[in-house]
Amino acid sequence: MEKVRIGMVGLGWVAQVIHLPILSHLPDAEIVAVCERDKAKARFVGEKFGVRRTYHDLDQMLANEGLDAVIVTASTDVHHDVAIAALKAGCDVLVEKPIARGYAEALEMVETAHAMKKKLMVGMNQRFRPDTMLLRSFIEGKELGRILYAKCGWLRKRTGYSAWVTQKEKAGGGVFLDLGTPMLDLALWLMGYPEVRRVGASNFHQKTKSVEDTSLVTVTLKNGSVITIEVSWSLIMDDDVYYCSVVGTEGTASLDPLHVNKELHGSLVNLAPARVDSPQNLFRRSYENELKHFLGAVRGLHPEMSTGDEALQRMKVVDAVYKSVKTGKEVVFS
Assigned domain for 268 exists: yes
In a shared domain, residues 268 and 149: yes
Assigned domain for 317 exists: yes
- The domain total for the chain is 2
Assigned domain for 103 exists: yes
199: β partners: 219, 331
CA distance 214 to 282: 25
Assigned domain for 283 exists: no
In a shared domain, residues 263 and 173: yes
In a shared domain, residues 132 and 116: no
Q: Supply the range of the domain harboring residue 140.
A: 127-277+313-332
Strands of the sheet with 226-235, listed across from one edge: 267-270, 259-264, 251-255, 241-248, 147-157, 226-235, 214-221, 196-204, 331-332
Does residue 162 have a pLDDT over 90? no
In a shared domain, residues 114 and 188: no
CA distance 276 to 131: 8
Assigned domain for 173 exists: yes
Assigned domain for 321 exists: yes
In a shared domain, residues 164 and 199: yes
Strands of the sheet with 29-35, listed across from one edge: 53-55, 29-35, 4-9, 69-72, 92-96, 120-123
Q: How far apart are the first and last CA of the chain?
A: 44
pTM: 0.94
In a shared domain, residues 37 and 53: yes
DSSP state of 161: -
What would the pLDDT profile of 170-213 be if each residue is shown by its tens digit? 989 999 999 999 999 999 999 999 999 999 999 999 888 889 99
In a shared domain, residues 270 and 134: yes
In a shared domain, residues 65 and 165: no
Q: What is the CATH number of the domain that holds 260?
A: 3.30.360.10
User: For the chain, how big is the Rg over CA atoms in Å?
Assistant: 20
Q: What is the CATH number of the domain that holds 27?
A: 3.40.50.720
In a shared domain, residues 84 and 227: no
What would the pLDDT profile of 76-128 be if each residue is shown by its tens digit? 999 999 999 999 999 999 999 999 999 999 999 999 999 999 999 999 999 99
What are the distances in angstroms from CA 192 to CA 7, 187, 223?
33, 9, 11
In a shared domain, residues 223 and 246: yes
